[in-house]
């Protein structure tokens, strides 16, 4: 079955991308291709403004693009000061090599990516506040495109199990450990986990910061899904853990900021390390699977090694004790 994860990304060249922005959007400027997971992105530097030309994977559903557009509109209606990419003009269809590609022009979010700069604990608190406001802004939003079978949704553990065949038996044991921990400690209480449409990818390549290190925006709404609300801070925790040697203080700072702007019930708080570890499990499994399909795409494995490092460390820890310690530090 063809999906966005096993279908090759678009391969438009610079000249073809230039022709699209000139013909379809009446724009001109310097153009540069950016790295991407499954789509193709170009940065356009116009005299007056910057843009992103986003060419979607040919297997992408129009309903998912509509989900992203409607979600952004809903967020900006509730929080006008949140910086997120908004579509400009219509969705264009382009044909190449017998395939149809959906093309969008988005506004460009100025700033640096979080992975480009080390930031303080107080700035991690700012990230938590921002994510909480984002989740609050999505409160009450619904869209059929979010209710989907999706490999990056931690809630869909069956999709995790199907990919175990791509890793070694020793590595499988580690993944099964976290699946079992989740099944034993979280699944019986899953009705206490609030459900919502979430961003689902608050990683250090999507979080935008200013020169002082303060979070100012977030990009890439392509992984949006209807799932546990607590997943958004848990996913952010997973990437903070990869970027910092002293994990707990930075994660606790982010969580402190999040809780100051969005309430998490006790079960949601308890679930965070379990959700964080399952997200890391998906990271390593998706890398193991997709690098076989697309060995030239180095972006697919950028988080693989650090994710395994965190999983090895967390495998030796009692997650409930770790959760209790994290919550105490987050006050």
**CA geometry: angle 63, 68, 71, nearest 5 deg:** 115
Provide the terminal-to-terminal Cα distance of the chain, rounded to the nearest Å: 47
Pair 321, 191 in one domain = yes
Residues 219 and 177 in one domain: yes
In this structure, the answer to whether residues 273 and 129 fall within a common structural domain is: yes
164 and 227 in one domain? yes
DSSP 128-161: HHHHHHHHHHTTT---GGGSS--TT-TT-HHHHH
Domain around 245: 112-329
Q: Is residue 159 part of a domain?
A: yes
Length of the chain: 331
Cβ partners under 8 Å of residue 26, min gap 6:
none
User: How many Å apart are CA 72 and CA 75, to the nearest integer?
Assistant: 5
Is 65 part of a structural domain of the chain? no
The dihedral sign for the CA sequence 259, 264, 269, 275: negative
Do 101 and 122 fall within a single domain?
no
- Residue finishing a domain among 72, 107, 142: 107
Are both 167 and 182 inside the same structural domain? yes
Tell me what pLDDT residue 285 has. 98
Q: Are residues 233 and 259 in the same domain?
A: yes
List 217's β-bridge partners, or say none: 83, 208
Please state the pTM of the whole predicted model.
0.95
In tens digits, the chain (331 residues) has pLDDT values of 899 999 999 999 999 999 999 999 999 999 999 988 899 999 999 888 999 999 999 999 999 999 999 999 999 998 778 899 999 999 999 999 999 999 999 999 999 999 888 888 889 999 999 999 999 999 999 999 999 999 999 999 999 999 999 999 999 999 999 999 999 999 999 999 999 999 999 999 999 999 888 899 999 999 999 999 999 999 999 999 886 667 889 999 999 999 999 999 999 999 999 999 999 999 999 999 999 999 988 888 889 999 999 999 999 999 999 999 998 988 7
Q: Domain check: are 276 and 178 in the same one?
A: yes
Q: Give the Cα separation of 138 and 291 in Å (integer).
A: 33
Compute the distance between CA of residue 60 and CA of residue 69 in angstroms, rounded to an integer.
14
Our CA dihedral for 244, 246, 251, 252, rounded to 10 degrees, sits at -160
Residues 103 and 144 in one domain: no
Between CA 234 and CA 242, with CA 237 as vertex, the angle to 5 degrees is 140
Identify whether residues 52 and 133 lie together within a single domain.
no
Q: Do 99 and 128 lie in a common domain? A: no
Residue 71 resides in a domain: no
Is the residue at 255 inside a domain? yes
* 37 falls within a domain: yes
The reply to whether 184 and 39 lie within a common domain is no
Segment (H or E) for 2: none
- Does residue 70 lie within any of the structural domains? no
Number of structural domains, the chain? 2
pLDDT for 244: 66
* Residue 69 domain-assigned (yes or no): no
Q: Tell me, what CATH number does 146's domain have?
A: 3.90.1200.10
**Taking the mean position of all CA atoms in its chain, how far away is CA 246?**
23
Q: What is the pLDDT of residue 299?
A: 85
pLDDT of residue 81: 80
Distance in angstroms (rounded) separating the CA atoms of residues 331 and 329: 6
Confirm whether 116 is domain-assigned.
yes
């Amino acid at each position: 079955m063809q999906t966005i994860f096993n279908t090759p990304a678009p391969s438009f060249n610079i000249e073809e991308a230039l022709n699209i922005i000139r013909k379809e959007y009446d724009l001109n400027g310097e153009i540069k291709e950016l790295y991407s997971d499954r789509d193709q992105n170009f940065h356009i530097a116009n005299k007056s403004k910057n843009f992103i030309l986003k060419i979607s994977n040919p297997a992408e559903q129009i309903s998912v693009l509509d989900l992203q557009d409607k979600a952004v509109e809903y967020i900006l209606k509730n929080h006008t000061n949140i910086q997120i990419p908004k579509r400009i003009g219509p969705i264009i269809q382009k044909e190449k090599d017998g395939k149809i590609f959906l093309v969008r022009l988005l506004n460009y979010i100025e700033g640096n990516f979080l992975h480009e700069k080390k930031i303080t604990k107080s700035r991690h608190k700012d990230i938590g506040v921002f994510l909480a406001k984002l989740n609050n802004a999505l409160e009450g939003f619904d869209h059929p495109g979010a209710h989907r079978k999706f490999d990056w949704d931690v809630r869909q553990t069956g999709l995790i199990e199907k990919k175990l065949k791509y890793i070694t038996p020793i590595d499988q044991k580690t993944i099964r450990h976290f699946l079992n921990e989740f099944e034993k400690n979280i699944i019986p209480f899953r009705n206490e986990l609030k459900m919502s449409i979430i961003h689902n990818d608050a990683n250090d390549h999507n979080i935008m910061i200013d020169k002082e290190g303060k979070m100012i925006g977030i990009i890439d709404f392509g992984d949006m899904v209807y799932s546990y609300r607590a997943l958004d801070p848990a996913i952010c925790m997973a990437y903070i853990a990869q970027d910092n040697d002293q994990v707990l203080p930075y994660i606790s700072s982010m969580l402190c900021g999040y809780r100051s702007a969005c309430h998490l019930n006790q079960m949601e708080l308890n679930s965070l390390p379990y959700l964080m570890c399952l997200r890391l499990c998906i990271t390593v499994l998706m890398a193991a699977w997709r690098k076989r399909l697309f060995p030239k795409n180095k972006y697919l494995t950028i988080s693989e090694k650090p994710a395994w490092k965190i999983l090895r460390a967390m495998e030796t820890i009692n997650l409930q004790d770790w959760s209790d310690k994290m919550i105490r530090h987050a006050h």
